[in-house]
Amino acid sequence: MAPALNISSRLPMNSGHPIPRLGLGVYMSKNARQSVAWALEAGYRHIDSAAFYKNEAEVSEAVMSSGIARDEIFVTSKIGPQDVGDRTAKALETCLSKLQKGDHWDLVLLHAPTNGKQARITGWKTLVEAQKAGKIRAAGVSNFSAKHIQELVDAGLPLPALNQVEAHPWCQQREIFAYCEKHGIARSAYCPLLRAGGEAFSHPLIVELGKKHSKSPAQILIRYSLQKDWIPLPKSDNHNRIRENADVYDFEISAEDMARLDALDQGGAGAISWNPVNVA
């Protein structure tokens, strides 16, 4: 698996639309249009946006002006947490209105499960119907626990194509990801670098592996995600870092060193954002 991994590699999704294994996150991007343009030039083919990020239109503009065939690029957006439920349909129409002429969303997620069980079911039903109607190509969820996804199944609805949660060596989401893997749900990792330049980058094991492979701490963490079959979404507005984060295909972390990284897991306590298992 690992030696053949490259920037064009994709993972299957149950929607039938394979997803590129490396994406650019644009949360709090200061200039999403420029960052997306740089990422596409560097070979990225996956961009992750959201209504909450307030840059969906910029992302669409960058994608459509890139000169790259649209079907080669995979773009995700998300319905804002406050709009999951009865307001999902209206929020989706707003999301669609941000697109440039001829553009589409390859994947739309419910951003969070925080509005309660009925809202989750109602919002999910709306996305499923939108996919069937051809408004979006695939539908998924973000920050959903295994319990939250099982609620959708118990309501007679199809499984999400993907679940996006915080994931890195210190927060490996083992229960959630085991459920997703069992049921054929793709697993996407936000905050794969934690907070870039923070304690993770100076951790002795990360430093050791960086020296071993002549790679930066960020590159070690991204490669770790890729070898876990997660879809990492590193965010950057820095041209050099965007390119560096994609330069992770000329080395492989050994099984022994992957096990050492796995041993860093602190469960939910290792999260730097929040843990979906705590949401009722």
Confirm whether 27 is a catalytic residue: no
Q: What pLDDT was estimated at residue 46?
A: 98
Q: Render pLDDT for 149-165 as a digit per residue (tens, 0 to 9).
A: 999 999 999 999 999 99
Query: Residue 199: which pLDDT band, with cuts at 50, 70 and 90?
Result: confident
Over range 111-115, report the average pLDDT. Answer: 96
Instruction: Tell how many helices (H) and how many strands (E) occur in the chain.
Output: 11, 10
Q: Render pLDDT for 165-174 as a digit per residue (tens, 0 to 9).
A: 999 999 999 9
Name residue 92's beta-bridge partners. none
For the chain, the distance separating the N- and C-terminal CA atoms, rounded to the nearest angstrom, is: 38
CA Rg, the chain, in Å?
18
Query: Residue 237: which pLDDT band, with cuts at 50, 70 and 90?
Result: very high
Query: Residue 3: which pLDDT band, with cuts at 50, 70 and 90?
Result: very low
Query: Residue 112: which pLDDT band, with cuts at 50, 70 and 90?
Result: very high
Name, in order, each residue with C-beta under 8 angstroms of 97's C-beta and a sequence gap of 6 or more: none
Q: What pLDDT was estimated at residue 180?
A: 98
User: Is the pLDDT reported for residue 2 higher than 70?
Assistant: no
Which one-letter DSSP state was computed for residue 182?
H
Triad 197, 9, 139: Cα angle to 5°: 85
Residue with tokens 């893997």: 181
CA–chain centroid gap for 162, Å, is: 9
User: Is the pLDDT reported for residue 177 higher than 70?
Assistant: yes
Q: What pLDDT was estimated at residue 1?
A: 40
Q: What pLDDT was estimated at residue 273?
A: 86
Q: Select from 186, 134, 182 the least CA-distant residue to 160.
A: 186
Name residue 162's beta-bridge partners. 186
Catalytic residue among 53, 179, 190, 249: 53
Residue 12 CA to residue 259 CA, distance in Å, equals: 25
Triad 216, 74, 178: Cα angle to 5°: 70
CA–chain centroid gap for 27, Å, is: 11
Cα distances (angstroms) measured from residue 165 to each of 109, 156, 245: 11, 24, 19
Domain borders along the chain are 2-195+229-238
Q: What pLDDT was estimated at residue 275?
A: 79
Q: What pLDDT was estimated at residue 142?
A: 98
User: Is the pLDDT reported for residue 231 higher than 90?
Assistant: yes
Report pTM: 0.96
The H or E element that residue 64 is part of is helix 56-64
3-state helix, strand, coil in the chain (%, to 5): 45, 15, 45
Residue 186 CA to residue 131 CA, distance in Å, equals: 17
Q: What pLDDT was estimated at residue 196?
A: 67
Q: What pLDDT was estimated at residue 278?
A: 80
Over range 29-54, report the average pLDDT. Answer: 97
For domain 2-195+229-238, give its CATH number from 3.20.20.100, 3.40.50.20, 3.90.1010.10, 3.30.565.10.
3.20.20.100
Name, in order, each residue with C-beta under 8 angstroms of 41's C-beta and a sequence gap of 6 or more: none
Three-class SS of residue 24? Answer: strand
Three-class SS of residue 80? Answer: coil
For 172, list phi and psi in degrees, rounded to 5: -95, 0
The H or E element that residue 108 is part of is strand 107-110
Query: Residue 92: which pLDDT band, with cuts at 50, 70 and 90?
Result: very high
Q: What pLDDT was estimated at residue 147?
A: 96
Q: What is the mean pLDDT of the chain?
A: 95
The string of DSSP letters for 112-137 reads --TT-HHHHHHHHHHHHHHHHTTSSS
**What percent of the chain lies above the pLDDT cut of 70?**
98
